[in-house]
Homo-oligomer: A and B are copies of this chain.
Amino acid sequence: SCEFCLNSQTFSEKMSKVNNFRRYNPLIDEWIIVAVNRINRPWQGAKTTVSKNSEDTTSSDSRAPPEKNQLAPGGVRSSGAVNEEYQSTFVFENDFPSFTEFEKCAGEEENDDLFKQQEVRGVCKVICYHPDSKLTLATMDLKEVRTVIDIWNQQYVELCPKYDWVQIFENRGAVVGCSNMHPHGQLWASNYLPSIPLKKHQSQKKYFEKHGGKVMLMDYLDKEIAKNERIIMRNEHWTWLVPYWAFWPYETMLLPNRHVERFTDLEETEKQSLSSILRDLLIKYDNIFECSFPYMMGWSGAPTGSFLQQDCSFWQLHLSFFPPLLRSATVPKFLAGYEVFAEKQRDTSPEIAAKTLREMNGVHYSKRN
């Protein structure tokens, strides 16, 4: 099962009808969500997951008959809900969401310099990419990858008017808490701009003001192209690179070649070539250790909701990949002592990671003869 998408209790049974809240850490100027509604959810299979993962990262889930997989067409989820017999993509609301919209149940708010608490509202969804549990974005055909891009776009179109931030992301692999290998990602939309996109908002705005209206990530892309040390792959509309400041061992970023504020601003041809570079890059990732490479993937673009009335032209859309593997298919990067108290650290240079990815075979290891 999956730490973030599925649960093994009846939703209505355990869910207390209170909206969750977030609290402010005044020491490091950062907010934390407190999702008390998720408290009663045990994570079955966690123990097995860890040991299974150390032996076989492709996981046995993909070998189980489709009707056993909670994310497959017709699959029965722990909440009792039954999935549609979907043929392409399929979206449903998370059975144990971190964000809810209980209109009449306001959380307690506090507003002191040391005790700041805000109620949070929103929605959490699971996005199944394909009916076949054995496929991944790296092994689907281009038309199928394109349907995922279209469902992302459709979700943004639907949710952007209402929510200040719509986070589309994917946790792939047991080392990032998802042991269900069925191809799927998630979407969490909230009534506020969360800590990390808020920082990105402020940084890009500051750069824009300081540099006479230049877009930070456009300038950055130009310089990276000139330096040509960290670029992995380019096509007409997109550039895939290892950021100069990458933290995760194989962290990368996918940038549009032109200025694009939001996902919904992408043109037809850009979405088409996105499906191709996205699949190419995931193939290279899988080929590093010849396993279905675990990663955290997330889109970031200009905020929405109340921000739609503001000028956000300093924003540039980007897709980030944070893969946790370091030296083999089973050795994850640990976030440890010094990194949580003082400063994060990486052990290889971003340039070596870029070279490794650039030179990686472009044919998926499972499809070679």
B296/A336 in contact, CB under 8 A: yes
A177 touches which one: B195, B217, B334 (CB < 8 A)?
B334
Instruction: Kindly state whether residue A4 has any CB partner on chain B within 8 Å.
Output: yes
A328/B199 in contact, CB under 8 A: no
Against B, the Cβ 8 Å flags (1 = close, 0 = not) of A17-36 are 00000111111111111111
Distance from A179 Cβ to chain B, minimum over Cβ atoms (Å): 11
A337 touches which one: B24, B169, B219, B341 (CB < 8 A)?
B169
B336/A320 in contact, CB under 8 A: no
State which of A44-52, A73-81, A264-272, A283-291 sits at the interface with chain B.
A44-52
B47/A50 in contact, CB under 8 A: no
A336/B115 in contact, CB under 8 A: no
Given known pairs A55-B51, A207-B113, A244-B114, the reply for A27 and B200 (CB within 8 Å) is: yes
A27/B167 in contact, CB under 8 A: no
State which of A83-91, A131-139, A146-154, A342-350 sits at the interface with chain B.
A342-350
Instruction: Kindly state whether residue A54 has any CB partner on chain B within 8 Å.
Output: yes
Specify which chain B residues have a CB less than 8 angstroms from the CB of A32 in the assembled complex: 245-247, 343-346
B298/A337 in contact, CB under 8 A: yes
Instruction: Kindly state whether residue A204 has any CB partner on chain B within 8 Å.
Output: yes
How many chain A residues touch B (CB < 8 A): the figure is: 95
Instruction: Kindly state whether residue A223 has any CB partner on chain B within 8 Å.
Output: yes
Q: Which 8 A-B pairs have the closest CB atoms?
A: A177-B334, A298-B341, A194-B343, A25-B245, A194-B342, A169-B337, A33-B345, A50-B54
Beta-carbon contacts under 8 Å, A319-359 to B: 320, 322, 326-328, 330-331, 334-338, 340-350, 352
Beta-carbon contacts under 8 Å, A36-77 to B: 36, 38-39, 41-43, 46-47, 50-51, 53-55
Specify which chain B residues have a CB less than 8 angstroms from the CB of A220 in the assembled complex: 26, 114
Specify which chain B residues have a CB less than 8 angstroms from the CB of A24 in the assembled complex: 245
Question: Complex Cα distance A196/B50, Å?
Answer: 30
Distance from A25 Cβ to chain B, minimum over Cβ atoms (Å): 4
Specify which chain B residues have a CB less than 8 angstroms from the CB of A27 in the assembled complex: 199-200, 203-204, 216-217, 245
Instruction: Kindly state whether residue A304 has any CB partner on chain B within 8 Å.
Output: no
Question: Complex Cα distance A3/B326, Å?
Answer: 12
A167 touches which one: B41, B196, B219, B341 (CB < 8 A)?
B341
Given known pairs A245-B24, A346-B34, the reply for A177 and B115 (CB within 8 Å) is: no
Beta-carbon contacts under 8 Å, A154-172 to B: 165, 167, 169-171
Specify which chain B residues have a CB less than 8 angstroms from the CB of A114 in the assembled complex: 216, 219-220, 223, 244
Instruction: Kindly state whether residue A256 has any CB partner on chain B within 8 Å.
Output: no
A345/B54 in contact, CB under 8 A: no
